Amino acid sequence: MKGRIVIVAASTALALVGVRALVACSEITPTTFGNPNTLDRKNLPGEGGVEQLLCAGGDGGGDGGTFDGGCPSFTTDIYPLFTAGGTWRCSDKACHGGATAPAVDGTNAGACLASLKKINVKNVPYVLSDGGKDPNAQSLLCNLQGSCGSPMPKAPGADPSTRDLCMVEAWLKCGAPE
């Protein structure tokens, strides 16, 4: 009987050591998801880090130069985004309203549009001065999408929404009227 107790005790001890070893070897490996501060448009999937902009007429614009049923107005729809207090804050002193070239004049809509027409990104005008209707012949939209030049806007401005991008696309297709 003593032999059986010794065998059972030894078996139990070995089983406990085995369980302890199994537990030590089966620790859950934590998953690292990367630095959340590296989230940026250029890190999104797609060609060149930029997904193709898909706009549909009537609910986001872009269909033949229409946006929510018509052409966006630079003065009322787009200019407010460029102001120092606007969403993109392009004319803010921290961006193009200070000593940084090229300047974006946020004084009024006319001055802002005139300053945008003077900007070139990789020898492509930001906005065509003759009112051309091809968004691909102008660099404003691709710059906002981050697919040409340095992606804009920079901090303190916020990234443009899909609706904003569709509105700019429609405005360019309308000939970029003031």
Is the pLDDT score of 75 beyond 70?
A: yes
CB 97 within 8 A of CB 84: yes
What is the DSSP pairing of strand 124-125 with strand 120-121? antiparallel
DSSP-assigned letter for residue 57? T
Tens-digit pLDDT profile for residues 77-133: 999 999 999 999 988 888 887 776 688 999 999 999 999 999 888 889 989 988 778
Residue type, 113: L
Q: What is the DSSP string of 81-135?
A: HHSTTSSS-TTSTTTTTTTPSSP---SSHHHHHHHHTT-EETTEESS-TT----G
Higher-pLDDT residue of 19 and 127 is 127
pLDDT of residue 159: 92
pTM given for the model:
0.65
Q: For residue 55, what pLDDT is reported?
A: 77
Residue 131 vs residues 127, 163, 164, 172, 173: alpha-carbon distances, Å: 8, 22, 20, 8, 9
The answer to whether 157 and 92 have CB atoms below 8 angstroms apart is: yes
Domains of the chain, residue spans: 56-173
